Structure 1
């Protein structure tokens, strides 16, 4: 297994995990319900949501950096 193949596997795995994590996120607003004044004024950030955000950002960085490295041909 070459470094390029390993980087391709990391890129595909991070893309799939990134899709799953984005789908796991809870919506941040009430959408159109917020226009009628039905939106909650006070929201609390839970530690699970904070951890999910950090993992999503980290996987996003891994995916973007592996895509740049693979597309530039640096491997």
Structure 2
């Protein structure tokens, strides 16, 4: 029972991790970054990116922790 619940949590955290990684903005803007205004760097997008980073790292820790627990067979 516990193993099946943790398996579903593991699958859910994996799906949410994929979604959160895909939501990140690309670091390199390429040639389009040259035409961007300098004032746009200091908006709320920076705090949104920091929050998204925190969510991604948390989901990664949950995913990897559950992968170790489920693969080691510690639950029976």
TM bucket (normalised to shorter chain) is: 0.7 to 0.9
Please name the residue that 1:30 is paired with. Answer: 29
Structure 1: gaps of 5 or more residues: none
Q: Which has the higher helix share?
A: 2
Structure 2 residue ranges without an equivalent (≥5): none
RMSD: 2.3
Summarize the alignment of residues 9-20 of structure 1 with structure 2, pairs less than 5 Å apart. 9-20=8-19
What is the CA–CA distance in structure 1 between the aligned matches of 2:74 and 2:47, rounded to whole Å?
38
Structure 1 runs (4+) deviating above 6 angstroms are none
Structure-2 residue corresponding to 1:48: 48
Instruction: State the 1:28 CA deviation.
Output: 1.2
Instruction: Tell me the residue number matched to 1:8.
Output: 7
**TM-score, length-scaled by structure 1:** 0.79
